[in-house]
Amino acid sequence: MLRLLPLCLLTLLPLVAQAGELDGHYRALLDEVPSELILRSQGQEVTGEYVENGQLRLQLKGRFDGELLSAAIHDAQSGQHLANLNASYANDQLNTRIAARNPATGEVLERDALFQRHHPAAEAPPAPPANPLHDPSLIGTWVHEQIISSASASFASMTSLMILQLNADGSVSQWSRTQAGGQNWSADSPGELQYRGHWQSRDGLLQVQLLGHSGFQPAARYHFSEQYLVTESNTGRMVWYKR
141-163: per-residue pLDDT in tens? 999 998 877 655 566 677 888 99
Domain assignment of residue 3, yes or no = no
Structural domain including 78 reads: 8-117
Answering whether pTM is above 0.75, one says no
Longest dimension (CA), the chain: 78
Residue 129's pLDDT is what?
62
For residues 100 and 159, state if they share a domain.
no
Per DSSP bridges, beta strands 68-74 and 56-64 are antiparallel
Q: Are residues 221 and 168 in the same domain?
A: yes
Burial status of residue 196 (CB atoms within 10 A of its CB: 0-12, 13-18, 19 or more): middle
Q: Are residues 170 and 232 in the same domain?
A: yes
Q: Is the dihedral of CA 223, 229, 30, 175 positive or negative?
A: positive
CATH number for the domain including 42? 2.40.128.30
| Amino acid, res. 11 | T
Q: Which residues of the chain, if any, have pLDDT below 70? A: 1-20, 103, 120-130, 150-156, 182-189
Q: What is the mean pLDDT of the chain?
A: 83
pLDDT tens column, 80-105? 889 999 999 988 999 999 998 776 77
Rounded to an integer, what is the distance from CA 169 to the centroid of its chain? 27
Res 38: pLDDT:
94
